[in-house]
Amino acid sequence: MRILVAMSGGVDSSVVAGLLAEAGHEVVGATLQLYDHGAAAARKGACCAGQDILDARRVADQLGVAHYVLDREARFRDAVISDFADTYARGETPIPCVRCNQTVKFADLTVLARDLGCEALATGHYARRVEGPDGAELHRAADAARDQSYFLFATTREQLEFARFPLGDMADKRSVRDVAARLGLGVAEKPDSQDICFVPDGRYSDVVGRMRPDAMAPGEIVDDAGRVLGQHQGIARFTVGQGRGIGIAAAERLYVQRVEPAVKRIVVGPRAALPQRGARAGEVNWLVEPPTSAMRVTIKLRGREMPQPAVIAWDAAAGEIDIRLDVPGVVAPGQAAVVYAGERVIGGGFLRAVATAPTALAV
Amino acid sequence: MIYLDANATEPLRPEARAAAIAAMDCLGNPSSVHTDGRAARRLLEAARTTIGTRFGPGSVVFTSGGTEANALAIHGLAPGRRVLVGATEHPAVLAAAPGAVAIPVDGDGVVSLAALEALLREGPALVCLMAANNETGVQHPLAEVAALCRAAGAMLQVDAVQAAGRGTVPGGWHSLAISGHKMGGVKGAGALLLAPGVEIGALIAGGGQERGQRGGTEALPAIAAMAAAAVSDPSDLSVLRDRMEARLLDLAPEVVIAGKAVPRLGNTSCIALPGVAAETQVIALDLAGVRVSAGAACSSGKVARSHVLEAMGLGSLAGCAIRVSLPWNATEQDVDGFIIAWAAMRQRISRSAA
Distances (CA, A) of B9 to B2, B65, B161, B270, B296: 14, 12, 11, 16, 13
Share of chain A above pLDDT 90, in %: 80
In angstroms, what separates the C-alpha of B281 from chain A's closest C-alpha? 9
Cβ contact A115–B303 (<8 Å): no
Q: How confident is the model at residue B264 (pLDDT cuts 50, 70, 90)?
A: very high
Within this chain, do residues A158 and A17 fall inside the same structural domain, yes or no? yes
Within this chain, do residues B79 and B211 fall inside the same structural domain, yes or no? yes
Domain boundary among B196, B230, B264: B230
Domain boundary among B191, B212, B230: B230
Mutate to test the interface with A, among B302, B310, B345, B347 (most CBs of A within 10 A): B302
Is the predicted pLDDT of residue B296 greater than 70, yes or no? no
In angstroms, what separates the C-alpha of B296 from chain A's closest C-alpha? 13
293-322 of B, contacting A, C-beta below 8 A: 298-304
Is the predicted pLDDT of residue B318 greater than 90, yes or no? no
pLDDT (0 to 100) of residue A44: 45
Cβ contact A71–B287 (<8 Å): no
Within this chain, do residues A66 and A28 fall inside the same structural domain, yes or no? yes
Within this chain, do residues A67 and A172 fall inside the same structural domain, yes or no? yes
Is the predicted pLDDT of residue B168 greater than 50, yes or no? yes
Neighboring chain A residues of B280 at a CB cutoff of 8 Å? 112, 115-116
pLDDT (0 to 100) of residue A46: 47
205-244 of B, contacting A, C-beta below 8 A: none
Domain boundary among B161, B195, B230: B230
Reply yes or no on whether A197 is catalytic. yes
CB of B348 within 8 Å of a chain A CB? The answer is yes
Mean pLDDT of the A201-215 span? 87
Distance CA(B296)–CA(A172), nearest Å, equals 42
Let me know if A173 is exposed, middle or buried by CB neighbors in 10 A (0-12, 13-18, 19+). middle
Distances (CA, A) of A274 to A14, A29, B351: 41, 45, 52
Lowest-pLDDT range of A113-117, B188-192, B304-308, B340-344: B304-308
Within this chain, do residues B139 and B210 fall inside the same structural domain, yes or no? yes
pLDDT (0 to 100) of residue A48: 53
Residues of B that are catalytic: 298
Neighboring chain B residues of A117 at a CB cutoff of 8 Å? 284, 287, 348
pLDDT (0 to 100) of residue B239: 97
Cβ contact A115–B348 (<8 Å): yes
Distance CA(A219)–CA(A211), nearest Å, equals 19
pLDDT (0 to 100) of residue A41: 54
Within this chain, do residues A290 and A321 fall inside the same structural domain, yes or no? yes
The domain in which residue B20 lies consists of 14-230
Neighboring chain A residues of B349 at a CB cutoff of 8 Å? 115
This complex has an ipTM of 0.87
Lowest-pLDDT range of A78-82, A195-199, A339-343, B93-97: A195-199
Share of chain B above pLDDT 90, in %: 88
pLDDT (0 to 100) of residue A45: 45
**Residue-averaged pLDDT of chain A:** 91
The size of the A-B interface in CB pairs under 8 A is 50
Total domains, chain A:
3
Total domains, chain B:
2
Is the predicted pLDDT of residue A47 greater than 70, yes or no? no
What does the pLDDT look like over A293-313, one tens digit per residue? 999 999 999 988 899 999 999
Q: In this structure, what CATH number is given to the domain that contains residue B106?
A: 3.40.640.10
What does the pLDDT look like over A120-138, one tens digit per residue? 999 999 999 999 999 999 9
Share of chain A above pLDDT 70, in %: 94
The domain in which residue A290 lies consists of 276-351
Distance CA(B176)–CA(B324), nearest Å, equals 25
Distance CA(A260)–CA(A170), nearest Å, equals 43
Mutate to test the interface with A, among B285, B287, B306 (most CBs of A within 10 A): B287
**Residue-averaged pLDDT of chain B:** 94
Contact status, residue A279 vs residue A301, Cβ threshold 8 Å = yes
Non-local CB neighbours of B258 within 8 Å, separated by 6+ positions: B108, B109, B135, B136, B138, B270, B272, B309, B312, B314, B317, B321
Cβ contact B279–A71 (<8 Å): yes
pLDDT (0 to 100) of residue A357: 44
Within this chain, do residues B100 and B196 fall inside the same structural domain, yes or no? yes
Within this chain, do residues B158 and B31 fall inside the same structural domain, yes or no? yes
The more confident residue out of B242 and A43 is B242
Reply yes or no on whether A100 is catalytic. yes
In angstroms, what separates the C-alpha of B353 from chain A's closest C-alpha? 8
Non-local CB neighbours of A361 within 8 Å, separated by 6+ positions: A278, A294, A311, A312, A313, A322, A323, A324
Q: How many CB atoms lie within 10 A of CB B26?
A: 18
In a domain? residue A289: yes
Mean pLDDT of the B271-279 span? 92
Within this chain, do residues A247 and A154 fall inside the same structural domain, yes or no? no
Cβ contact A111–B352 (<8 Å): yes
Non-local CB neighbours of A78 within 8 Å, separated by 6+ positions: none
In angstroms, what separates the C-alpha of B1 from chain A's closest C-alpha? 14
Q: What chain B residue is nearest to A117 in terms of C-alpha separation? A: B348
